[in-house]
Structure 1
Amino acid sequence: MSGGKHKSADQLLHDAVKLHLAGDLDGAGRLYKGLLKQSPLHPDGLHLSGLVAMQKGQLAEAERLIRGAIAASPKAAAFHGNLGTVLISTGRPQDAMACYRRAVELDESYVDGWRNMASLAAQMDDHEGAALAYSNVVRLTGGADGGALGYLGLELAVLCDWDNVPMVREAISALPSWRTGKSLPASPFSLLIHDFSPAEQRRYADEAASFIENRTAPMAHKPSARRPRLRLGYLSEDFHDHATAYLLAEALESHDRSRFEIFAYSYGPEDKGAVRSRLRDACDHWVELGPLSEADGARRIQADGIDILVDLKGHTGRARTGILAARPAPLQVAWLGFPGTFGGTCMDYIVADSFVIPPGGEGDYAEQVVRLPLCYQPNDSRRPRAVPREPKAKWGLPEDAFVVAVFNNTFKINAETFAVWISVLQAQSDAVLWFVEFHPAATASLRAMASAVGIDPARLIFAPRLPQAEHLARLSAADLFLDTWPCGGHTTASDALWAGVPLVAWAGRTFASRVAGSLLRALGFDELITDSQGAYHALAQYLAKERVALADLRQRLWAATQSSPLFDGKAFVGPLERAFDTMWATWEKGEKPQGFDV
């Protein structure tokens, strides 16, 4: 009965689905094909054949087959939903959204349709639509979908709609383990906005990582002697006009090519921008993983013989964590993109420093902690440099105002920090708050809250998003930068300091809350690091009032940024390479990864 001959359509479908669920795409594809020979318009045969094609990266074939399934059975919600997912992969988000909308119109209880709609709406900057769709997922799953809960909280935070964020936090805290079969884990990225302890963050990261690892068979590796050039693979979606790329560029360019062979594995947009071009030039090999499945991407990395795979995404948006779960390299290192532990067992090391992960905090990380001597964050001395003081009027600010910049994304703003910012406006009649405008609903919400406590909403000034060079130039028009908590500024903090603007950091318990403090410490400005709301409030008020002291601070900061190795990507790379050398030497000896300070 080879090739499925003499089997009924139902039996062929049953056998094909078994193979499909077991991950045998070729075997499933052959049986689906046999089914369609018998019954060319079989809706499930067409639809599932389309899913196999999609999983193998054959997107045109996937679209053709799933459209055929819809023609045969136009009211099947899942068919429309999966067509939407294919269309996203072919770069047609608007058409994909129409498919998701049609799917939930056909079946209001179709959870995957709402979930996909929510994710796509967020990517398209429709955060109100995303919050609504995630709330439907939460309702339909009885609050058992931790991912939807986490992202609902994140979308509400983007909109500065803070009333329900504490309830989301409580619901996440009450989630049972996914291993009980009663829930799905929350995304660790969505939890950074809540004041969870590092131990709690580790627990949620372990849940999320284990959920991925449980579905992926890891590749095996045996200790081997170092070749003349150690092969470093950098894995990311962000090799384009993105904050990670701005920080990374000079460090990547500065690797010692006589000792390291550099591979970039990109699965993000294939843009033609200057940042991507610069990154490509910095690598020996550039590999586009975008068209490949996660399993095929992992196989490609393994085939390239990568010694150390450095992941630059962690659990941030659109990360392809299944590649890491497959363990395509003998050593896997978490660095830069995600300010926290990856969790699980697939990452060997995390690159940090003694401020973002203080001594004694190692138990809150699934990885072995490697601390660089100055700061874990690289920087780029070639970035555009602002003049010490940009005129305020040029950037739409009152020339005689005291400008407090709060340029972090709105999802990082919360009631605790906003209360301090408002108190500065109440105490200093010439002060204004300067934001980047991320979403009109957030702008309206922040202005309404200011108005409710008697502050003229015109004192909240919202700047448009600009290309990086212009953004860096305008920053120096600010008098003071106030960081957010518990998810602080990372690249934004670097930007402010590079522009010579004094920054007040509120360092909390977590990696995500301590990055600005690490940067300040590296520059020698520990006096700008606070560790509580009260201390943050007091220092912000002092600097807003004592303008002579602030001017002196600014002068010292400008001088420090010009001489500090913090902003020198070339100086950064030496310790990083020594870290990689030590990791490999431990592996070569057949020993388990162990943390160390460089």
Structure 2
Amino acid sequence: MKKTAAQQETAHPDFARLDELIQHTHILQDAGRLQDALDAYEKWLSTSDAPNKYVAIFNCGSLLQTMGQLTQAEAKYRECLVVHPQLAQAAINLGLVLEKQGRAEEALQLWAQVVSQGLLANGTDKDMQVMALNHMGRLYENQKKYDLSEQALIQSLSIHPKQPGVLQHWIHIRQKACKWPVYLPLPHISTNDMLMSTSPLAMLSLNDDPALQLLCAHTFVERTYSFKQEHLCTSSYKHRQVRIGYVSGDLCTHAVGLLLADFLEAHDHEKFEIHAYDFSPDDHTAYQARLRATFDHRHLIHHMDDRAVAKKIADDEIDVLIDLHGLSSGARPGIFALHPAPLQGTYLGFIGTTAMPWFDFVITDRYALPEELATYYVEKPLYLDGSFIPLNRDDNLLRVASRHEFGFSEDAFIMAAFGNVYKINDALFTAWTNILKRAPNSVLWLVDDNDITTRELKHKATLCGIAEHQLVFSPRVTHSEYQSRIKLADVFLDSFPYNCGSTTRDVINCGTPIVTCSGKTMVSRMTGSILNSLDLNNLITDNMAAYENLVVELSQQPDAIKKIKNVLAVKLDSKSARTKKLTHSFEKALLEKIKNK
């Protein structure tokens, strides 16, 4: 029997030269034989005293790292650095191994050493310095140490300004730290560079211009994804039941997942067969179990690459494939670029155009995305009746929170704003501080997301003349406790231009009035969409001055707030019927789209 190339190489395992060994191990690795490649290096190292043996030691460390053998990989990288202390890549990789082991501070120290060595004669290569700084920036960002993260990325950009990905992270870090203006002058980087490097997510809260959001999404997709479109599915199907596939990594107690249970449960299983292509983490909650039970078929795709998933979808003959990520974290656009289904759409995960040519439609409603704004979407609108954001039933028995436990007086007018901190911007915070000045006994209740951002907001409030007791920060808590706090508030303040979405649903569930401002983009019309569907348009404004005035008026009209809460209580009783109507309008729109395909 004829031997494969890899087997022939294994038959002659002794190599005098390192380059021959490396070529041999590459063949083994390409054949998936990582352990054999590692053994080949170990055998060579056991007899070699070559001056460049550190290369083989490094490669051993890299193989062990790939194989997930972190303790052994750490030992090899340390051995390599003993032989060649200036090998920056070994130090960087060792840092990654330490980070993976939960030893973040040790990783940061190693990368800092790589950076500092660049100041020495014949020191670290500039590219290695940049790599180390970028890892430091990423890890500090994960730790919410945004000041240190920003310093690392600024230093990286000072060495190599042409790094759109790094500039993108620097911009979003400043948003999360509430540093305004977000676009701060940097050497050799223009405002245009910053604009073109802004992530689509960051742009949603930076600007209400739909054309700018479209441009930003296009630019991001072009620089991030290089997928070549293919059509694994070349024709439509004629199934008795229409097969709908949902692709998501958020089918859990995630903001998107929390919106879906009632919507999915309302599917007509006589007419539709519902599939999940699921790569969500297990959170072992009752809610996740409920979500999973809504599907006729659930396919786990965590360890499958995009092509394998797309082939699976094509083999399952899915009629309509729904992406629940868009351009949000965890997205797997490579699946959709292969066109495994005749119709492909996007829903909930990213409330803006994806600018991805492989999506046929976006699920929305006529308030959120009126026809005159649809021109700024690559995807065609698939309109639902009511709000496109499902109003789920919530059977949780909430703890009754008291004003006393948070230090609120009985006559305080409590304004809660528990949205993500990166959605706060200069204009919005100015409106909030203006309300605090105008509304007697008003208190603004915010999330204490991290020390850096909380300190920054307190400082800005002080500069605006806001008394310390008027700004209250509370740490993040469980979902039920968070709902108890919402229920305690007199009014909830929406963010603009990036409205609350899942949070607005929670606010409505709690029976708390929410004041919003609707703009020119779908993301700035989310809360308005929900309020409009509930006939509560009196809580919708269309500019920040009107937003301020409405909140101030409500602060002086406790009876008006009580009336709105009573109306909400009545509306909440019909939520189940509303959700069923929403799902059925989706099914009807899909059937029409399939018919016209």
Relative to the length of structure 2, the TM-score reads 0.83
1:87-106 mapped onto 2 (5 Å cutoff):
92=100, 94-95=102-103, 98-99=106-107, 101-106=109-114
**Residue identity (%):** 26
Kept in 1, the 8 Å contact 2:171–2:198? The answer is no
Alignment partners' CA distance in 1, 2:485 and 2:182: 35
Judged with a 3 Å threshold, the aligned counterparts in structure 2 of structure 1 residues 357 and 67 are, in CA distance, closer, same or farther, namely: farther
Alignment partners' CA distance in 2, 1:47 and 1:221: 45
Give CA deviations for 1:253-277 in whole Å, capped at 9, x if unaligned: 2222333333333334322122222
**Is 1:569 aligned to residue 584 of structure 2?**
no
Kept in 2, the 8 Å contact 1:35–1:45? The answer is no
Offset, 1:222? 0.8
**Is 1:372 aligned to residue 410 of structure 2?**
no
Residue 282 of structure 1 aligns with an amino acid whose one-letter code is T
Kept in 1, the 8 Å contact 2:242–2:271? The answer is yes
**Is 1:527 aligned to residue 538 of structure 2?**
yes
**Is 1:162 aligned to residue 180 of structure 2?**
yes
Q: Pick one of 123, 127, 145 that aligns with 2:146.
A: 127
Give CA deviations for 1:177-223 in whole Å, capped at 9, x if unaligned: 9xxxxxx9542112222115211211221222233442456453211
Judged with a 3 Å threshold, the aligned counterparts in structure 2 of structure 1 residues 159 and 409 are, in CA distance, closer, same or farther, namely: same
Name the residue aligned to 1:273.
285
Offset, 1:460? 0.9
Residue 548 of structure 1 aligns with an amino acid whose one-letter code is D
Alignment partners' CA distance in 1, 2:304 and 2:72: 19
Name the residue aligned to 2:193.
175
Kept in 2, the 8 Å contact 1:115–1:137? The answer is yes
1:313-328 mapped onto 2 (5 Å cutoff):
313-328=325-340
**Is 1:228 aligned to residue 222 of structure 2?**
no
Residue 211 of structure 1 aligns with an amino acid whose one-letter code is R
Name the residue aligned to 1:441.
452
Judged with a 3 Å threshold, the aligned counterparts in structure 2 of structure 1 residues 449 and 363 are, in CA distance, closer, same or farther, namely: same
Alignment partners' CA distance in 1, 2:101 and 2:171: 24
Kept in 2, the 8 Å contact 1:145–1:186? The answer is no
Residue 136 of structure 1 aligns with an amino acid whose one-letter code is Q
Kept in 2, the 8 Å contact 1:350–1:367? The answer is yes
Deviates more, 1:220-229 or 1:287-296: 287-296
Residue 471 of structure 1 aligns with an amino acid whose one-letter code is Y
- Give 3-state SS (helix, strand or coil) of 2:207's partner: coil
Residue 204 of structure 1 aligns with an amino acid whose one-letter code is C
Alignment partners' CA distance in 2, 1:346 and 1:70: 46
1:551-562 mapped onto 2 (5 Å cutoff):
551-562=562-573
Residue 230 of structure 1 aligns with an amino acid whose one-letter code is V
Residue 105 of structure 1 aligns with an amino acid whose one-letter code is Q
1:377-456 mapped onto 2 (5 Å cutoff):
377-384=389-396, 391-456=402-467
1:233-312 mapped onto 2 (5 Å cutoff):
233-312=245-324
Give CA deviations for 1:425-463 in whole Å, capped at 9, x if unaligned: 212231111112211222222222222233211211112
Judged with a 3 Å threshold, the aligned counterparts in structure 2 of structure 1 residues 317 and 123 are, in CA distance, closer, same or farther, namely: farther
Name the residue aligned to 1:353.
365
Alignment partners' CA distance in 1, 2:559 and 2:276: 48
Judged with a 3 Å threshold, the aligned counterparts in structure 2 of structure 1 residues 103 and 445 are, in CA distance, closer, same or farther, namely: closer
Judged with a 3 Å threshold, the aligned counterparts in structure 2 of structure 1 residues 78 and 189 are, in CA distance, closer, same or farther, namely: farther
Alignment partners' CA distance in 2, 1:11 and 1:299: 38
- Give 3-state SS (helix, strand or coil) of 2:193's partner: coil
Judged with a 3 Å threshold, the aligned counterparts in structure 2 of structure 1 residues 422 and 287 are, in CA distance, closer, same or farther, namely: same
Residue 574 of structure 2 aligns with an amino acid whose one-letter code is S
Offset, 1:148? 2.5
Alignment partners' CA distance in 2, 1:230 and 1:36: 55
Judged with a 3 Å threshold, the aligned counterparts in structure 2 of structure 1 residues 50 and 364 are, in CA distance, closer, same or farther, namely: farther
Alignment partners' CA distance in 1, 2:356 and 2:258: 29
Judged with a 3 Å threshold, the aligned counterparts in structure 2 of structure 1 residues 176 and 545 are, in CA distance, closer, same or farther, namely: closer
Kept in 2, the 8 Å contact 1:135–1:148? The answer is no
Name the residue aligned to 1:591.
none
Name the residue aligned to 1:481.
492
Alignment partners' CA distance in 1, 2:446 and 2:168: 25
Offset, 1:550? 3.1
Deviates more, 1:577-586 or 1:482-491: 577-586
Kept in 1, the 8 Å contact 2:206–2:425? The answer is no
- Give 3-state SS (helix, strand or coil) of 2:256's partner: helix
Kept in 1, the 8 Å contact 2:387–2:533? The answer is yes
- Give 3-state SS (helix, strand or coil) of 1:192's partner: helix
Kept in 2, the 8 Å contact 1:43–1:70? The answer is no
Alignment partners' CA distance in 1, 2:312 and 2:91: 32
Alignment partners' CA distance in 2, 1:530 and 1:152: 32
Offset, 1:163? 4.1
Kept in 2, the 8 Å contact 1:46–1:66? The answer is no
Deviates more, 1:214-223 or 1:471-480: 214-223
- Give 3-state SS (helix, strand or coil) of 1:476's partner: helix
Residue 131 of structure 1 aligns with an amino acid whose one-letter code is E
Offset, 1:305? 4.1
Kept in 2, the 8 Å contact 1:506–1:536? The answer is yes
Judged with a 3 Å threshold, the aligned counterparts in structure 2 of structure 1 residues 509 and 115 are, in CA distance, closer, same or farther, namely: farther
- Deviation >6 Å, runs of 4+: 14-17, 27-35, 45-54
Deviates more, 1:548-557 or 1:510-519: 548-557
Kept in 1, the 8 Å contact 2:355–2:378? The answer is yes
Offset, 1:395? 4.8
Alignment partners' CA distance in 1, 2:539 and 2:343: 37
Judged with a 3 Å threshold, the aligned counterparts in structure 2 of structure 1 residues 503 and 308 are, in CA distance, closer, same or farther, namely: same
Count of matched residue pairs: 567
Alignment partners' CA distance in 1, 2:321 and 2:556: 49
1:141-156 mapped onto 2 (5 Å cutoff):
141-142=160-161, 144-156=162-174
Deviates more, 1:192-201 or 1:92-101: 92-101
Judged with a 3 Å threshold, the aligned counterparts in structure 2 of structure 1 residues 346 and 515 are, in CA distance, closer, same or farther, namely: same
CA-atom RMSD in angstroms: 3.7
**Runs of 5+ consecutive residues of structure 2 not aligned to the other structure:** 47-52, 117-125
Alignment partners' CA distance in 1, 2:24 and 2:190: 38
Alignment partners' CA distance in 2, 1:366 and 1:490: 22
Kept in 2, the 8 Å contact 1:218–1:327? The answer is yes
Name the residue aligned to 1:496.
507
**Is 1:194 aligned to residue 206 of structure 2?**
yes
Residue 139 of structure 1 aligns with an amino acid whose one-letter code is S
Please say which structure displays the higher CA radius of gyration. Answer: 2
Judged with a 3 Å threshold, the aligned counterparts in structure 2 of structure 1 residues 68 and 438 are, in CA distance, closer, same or farther, namely: same
Judged with a 3 Å threshold, the aligned counterparts in structure 2 of structure 1 residues 256 and 120 are, in CA distance, closer, same or farther, namely: farther
Kept in 1, the 8 Å contact 2:234–2:342? The answer is yes
Residue 571 of structure 1 aligns with an amino acid whose one-letter code is K
Alignment partners' CA distance in 1, 2:33 and 2:230: 22
Kept in 2, the 8 Å contact 1:32–1:45? The answer is no
Alignment partners' CA distance in 2, 1:537 and 1:312: 34
Residue 579 of structure 1 aligns with an amino acid whose one-letter code is A
**Runs of 5+ consecutive residues of structure 1 not aligned to the other structure:** 178-183, 588-598
Deviates more, 1:578-587 or 1:501-510: 578-587
